Amino acid sequence: MLRVAVLGAGRIGRIHAANVAADRRAKLVAVADPLKGAAQELASRLSCEAALDAVSVIERKDVDAVVIGTPTDTHVDLLLHAVKHGKAVLCEKPIDLNLGRADAAVAEIERLRGRVMLAFNRRFDPSAQEIRRAIDAGEIGVVRQVIITSRDPEVPPREYSRHCGGIFRDMTIHDFDMGRWLLGEEPVEVMASGSRLVDPSLAEFDDFDTIMVLMRTASGRQCHINNCREAVYGYDQRLEVFGSVGMLLNDNLRPTTVKRWRKDETDARQPLLNFFLERYADAYRIELGRFLDAVESGQPMPVTAFDGRQALRLADCALESARSGRAVKV
């Protein structure tokens, strides 16, 4: 049984901790969070230990692996500390906000032969997995275009916007990873456009709330990503992959499949699942399972720190393009 600690008892840490506690192959040893009461509340709900200091939890002899769900600017330090102590790591996205630091972390992980998985949870969504399987099986021939729509239901709190590194590194980072994964080739050029249509005050952080990105690979495959921080109808998550002999389309999920017909509406369905915690509940659970599989078997991690670095590089290119109005070579 793998003994796991979860660092960070916030929105995502609570999800990971509950999934560790529910997985029969793992034992949740402790949760750590410096915020008074945060770890304690989660620990008493999940019957594990609580700690204020993540570093000492990493160093515990009875911890084999850690899940990092702390703010982004703490990821690299915590993950390298864990690797140095021989612990396997599942680390939340983005790996860091600074490409130089991400590169140095990837090099250090390689040097120490660290076992690190980046938590790009959307790859583990059952529909995304089916799309990847269908591409691999040749069902749509050669991939030509990937179209990703990803819109949040509401803008994050202002404090979050202040520290998140901007929409490309915080939100589009998932889509950069998904784009790379589905294209099957590395993008070589990025063009992006950014607007402030929801919250003009984001100008204070030089950030955007509404973006479009176009990426092109060396062979000419294309990926289009569109994001908005606010969609009044809910969390909009759609994927389309177009190939030489077909197309794969993944629509939004709703709580049920029921449709309604009435005097003033037809084909009406329930609102979309509210946000990431609901929409990707299965993906987070499966992601953790794949992490535990890799740790147990010694097989390669399904998503690596290098994947985290590549997504960050694409985010940086998109930001440069949105600011300059020019296409940027990756």
Ligand X SMILES: NC(=O)c1ccc[n+]([C@@H]2O[C@H](COP(=O)([O-])OP(=O)(O)OC[C@H]3O[C@@H](n4cnc5c(N)ncnc54)[C@H](O)[C@@H]3O)[C@@H](O)[C@H]2O)c1
Q: Which residues bind ligand X (CB under 6 A)?
A: 7-13, 32-35, 38, 54, 69-72, 74, 92-93, 119, 121, 276
Q: Which two tokens stand for residue 168?
A: 């490309």
Q: Which of 119, 140, 166, 89 is nearest to 12 (CA)?
A: 119
Q: At 30, phi and psi to the nearest 5?
A: -160, 155
Nearer Cβ to ligand X (185/282): 282
Nearer Cβ to ligand X (171/248): 171
Work out how close the CB of 107 gets to ligand X at its nearest, in angstroms, rounded to a whole number.
Answer: 21
Work out how close the CB of 74 gets to ligand X at its nearest, in angstroms, rounded to a whole number.
Answer: 5
Our CA angle for 204, 206, 207, nearest 5°, is 105
Work out how close the CB of 260 gets to ligand X at its nearest, in angstroms, rounded to a whole number.
Answer: 31
Work out how close the CB of 121 gets to ligand X at its nearest, in angstroms, rounded to a whole number.
Answer: 5
Nearer Cβ to ligand X (32/143): 32
Q: Decide: residue 238, CB within 10 A, 0-12 exposed, 13-18 middle, 19+ buried.
A: middle
Q: Which residue is nearest to ligand X (CB)?
A: 10
Give dist(CA 279, CA 272) in Å, integer.
9
Nearer Cβ to ligand X (58/143): 58
Work out how close the CB of 281 gets to ligand X at its nearest, in angstroms, rounded to a whole number.
Answer: 11
Four-point Cα dihedral 135, 239, 324, 308, nearest 10: -60
- C-alpha pair distances (Å), 76 with each of 1, 5, 79, 102, 162: 27, 17, 5, 7, 20
Nearer Cβ to ligand X (312/317): 312
